[in-house]
Structure 1
Amino acid sequence: MSKAPMIEVPGSTTRRAASAMGSGPRANEAHGAGSAQSLDDAAPAATHDGKTLFAYVGTYTPHGLGIHRFRVDRATGKLDALEPVQGIENPAALAIDAQQRVLYSVSEVRQYNGTPNGSVSAYAIEPGTGALRLLGTVNSQGAAPVYLSLHPTGRFLLVANYHSGSVAVLPVASDGTLGEAVSVQAPQAPAGAQHAAEGVPGSFAISDHDGPHAHAIVPSPDGRFAISTDLGVDRTYVWRFDEASGALTPGEPPYVAASPGAGPRHVVFHPNGRYLYEVTEEASTLVCYSYDAQRGVLTLLQSVSTLPPGYQGTSFASTILLSHDGRFVYVANRLHDTIVQFGIDEHGLVHRIAETPTGGDYPRVIRFDPSGRFLYSLNQRSDHIAIFAVDQASGNLHFTGHYVGVGSPSDIAFVWA
Structure 2
Amino acid sequence: MTFAPTLGRWTQRLLPIAAALGVASIVPASHAAPDQPAASDSPPVFAYVGTYAPNGQGVYLLRQDPQTGALQQVGVYPSVPNPAQFAISKDTLYVGSESPKHGEVAAYAIDRRTGALTLRNQVDAQGKQTVYLGLINNQRQLLVANYGSGSVALFALAQDGSLGAASDVHQSVGQPGAAHPAAAVEGSFAASDHNGPHAHMIAADPSGQFAFSTDLGLDRIYQWRIDAEHGKLLPNDPPFINASSAGAGPRHFVFGADGKQLYLVNEEASTLTHYRLDTGKGTLTEAASLSTLPPGFKGTSFASDILITPDGRFVYVLNRLHDSIARFAVAADGSLSWQDDTWTRGSYPRTLTLDPAGRFIYVANQRSDHIATFKLDAASGKVEFTGQYTPVGAPSQLIFLR
TM-score normalised over the length of structure 1 = 0.86
For residues 222-260 of structure 1, what are the alpha-carbon distances to aligned partners after superposition, in whole Å with 9 as ceiling and x for unaligned?
Answer: 111110000001101101110101201111011111110
User: 2: CA distance between counterparts of 1:283 and 1:379?
Assistant: 21
The alpha-carbon deviation at position 46 of structure 1 amounts to 5.5
The alpha-carbon deviation at position 44 of structure 1 amounts to 5.9
Change (3 A) 1:47 1:62: farther
User: What is residue 33 of structure 1 aligned with on the other side?
Assistant: none
User: What is residue 404 of structure 1 aligned with on the other side?
Assistant: 390
Aligned to 2:194, the other structure's residue is in SS state: coil
Aligned to 2:389, the other structure's residue is in SS state: strand
User: 2: CA distance between counterparts of 1:213 and 1:76?
Assistant: 39
Which residues of 2 match residues 57-68 of structure 1 at below 5 A?
57-68=49-60
Which residues of 2 match residues 21-32 of structure 1 at below 5 A?
none
Q: Identify unmatched segments of 5+ residues in structure 1.
A: 1-38, 112-116
User: What is residue 36 of structure 1 aligned with on the other side?
Assistant: none
User: What is residue 86 of structure 1 aligned with on the other side?
Assistant: 78
User: What is residue 114 of structure 1 aligned with on the other side?
Assistant: none
User: 2: CA distance between counterparts of 1:46 and 1:280?
Assistant: 43
CA contact (8 A) 1:47 1:53 kept: no
The alpha-carbon deviation at position 353 of structure 1 amounts to 1.1
User: 2: CA distance between counterparts of 1:125 and 1:293?
Assistant: 35
Is 1:165 paired with 2:157?
no
User: 1: CA distance between counterparts of 2:147 and 2:135?
Assistant: 18
Which residues of 2 match residues 237-316 of structure 1 at below 5 A?
237-258=222-243, 259-316=245-302
User: What is residue 232 of structure 1 aligned with on the other side?
Assistant: 217
Counterpart amino acid of 2:392? V
Is 1:53 paired with 2:53?
no
User: What is residue 368 of structure 1 aligned with on the other side?
Assistant: 354
Which residues of 2 match residues 200-215 of structure 1 at below 5 A?
200-215=185-200
Is 1:179 paired with 2:164?
yes
The alpha-carbon deviation at position 40 of structure 1 amounts to 5.8
Q: Taking CA–CA contacts closer than 8 Å with sequence separation of 6 or more, which of the two structures ends up with the larger relative contact order?
A: 1
Is 1:73 paired with 2:65?
yes
Q: How many residues in Structure 1 have an aligned counterpart in Structure 2?
A: 369
User: What is residue 16 of structure 1 aligned with on the other side?
Assistant: none
CA contact (8 A) 1:45 1:73 kept: no
CA contact (8 A) 2:80 2:104 kept: no
Counterpart amino acid of 2:228? E
The alpha-carbon deviation at position 47 of structure 1 amounts to 5.9
User: 1: CA distance between counterparts of 2:270 and 2:186?
Assistant: 12
The alpha-carbon deviation at position 372 of structure 1 amounts to 1.2
The alpha-carbon deviation at position 365 of structure 1 amounts to 0.4
User: 2: CA distance between counterparts of 1:45 and 1:142?
Assistant: 43
User: What is residue 105 of structure 1 aligned with on the other side?
Assistant: 95
Is 1:190 paired with 2:175?
yes
User: 2: CA distance between counterparts of 1:45 and 1:191?
Assistant: 55
For residues 11-47 of structure 1, what are the alpha-carbon distances to aligned partners after superposition, in whole Å with 9 as ceiling and x for unaligned?
Answer: xxxxxxxxxxxxxxxxxxxxxxxxxxxx965896566
CA contact (8 A) 2:50 2:85 kept: yes
Aligned to 1:137, the other structure's residue is in SS state: strand
User: 2: CA distance between counterparts of 1:328 and 1:241?
Assistant: 29
User: What is residue 4 of structure 2 aligned with on the other side?
Assistant: none
The alpha-carbon deviation at position 162 of structure 1 amounts to 0.0
User: What is residue 24 of structure 2 aligned with on the other side?
Assistant: none
TM-score normalised over the length of structure 2 = 0.90
CA contact (8 A) 1:45 1:71 kept: no
Aligned to 2:303, the other structure's residue is in SS state: strand
Change (3 A) 1:226 1:46: farther
Change (3 A) 1:270 1:152: farther
The alpha-carbon deviation at position 152 of structure 1 amounts to 3.9
Q: Identify unmatched segments of 5+ residues in structure 2.
A: 1-28
User: 1: CA distance between counterparts of 2:30 and 2:258?
Assistant: 40
User: 1: CA distance between counterparts of 2:76 and 2:40?
Assistant: 20
Aligned to 2:345, the other structure's residue is in SS state: coil
Counterpart amino acid of 1:218? A
Which residues of 2 match residues 80-159 of structure 1 at below 5 A?
80-97=72-89, 100-111=90-101, 117-159=102-144
Counterpart amino acid of 2:388? H
User: 1: CA distance between counterparts of 2:116 and 2:252?
Assistant: 29
User: 2: CA distance between counterparts of 1:374 and 1:334?
Assistant: 20
User: 1: CA distance between counterparts of 2:31 and 2:330?
Assistant: 41
User: What is residue 323 of structure 1 aligned with on the other side?
Assistant: 309
Counterpart amino acid of 1:102? T
For residues 180-235 of structure 1, what are the alpha-carbon distances to aligned partners after superposition, in whole Å with 9 as ceiling and x for unaligned?
Answer: 11000112110000110100011010010001000000011111111000000110
The alpha-carbon deviation at position 371 of structure 1 amounts to 1.1
User: 1: CA distance between counterparts of 2:39 and 2:301?
Assistant: 40
For residues 326-361 of structure 1, what are the alpha-carbon distances to aligned partners after superposition, in whole Å with 9 as ceiling and x for unaligned?
Answer: 100000000000000000001110001111000000
User: What is residue 15 of structure 1 aligned with on the other side?
Assistant: none
User: 2: CA distance between counterparts of 1:292 and 1:316?
Assistant: 29
For residues 101-140 of structure 1, what are the alpha-carbon distances to aligned partners after superposition, in whole Å with 9 as ceiling and x for unaligned?
Answer: 00000011244xxxxx310000000131110000000010
User: 2: CA distance between counterparts of 1:44 and 1:153?
Assistant: 31
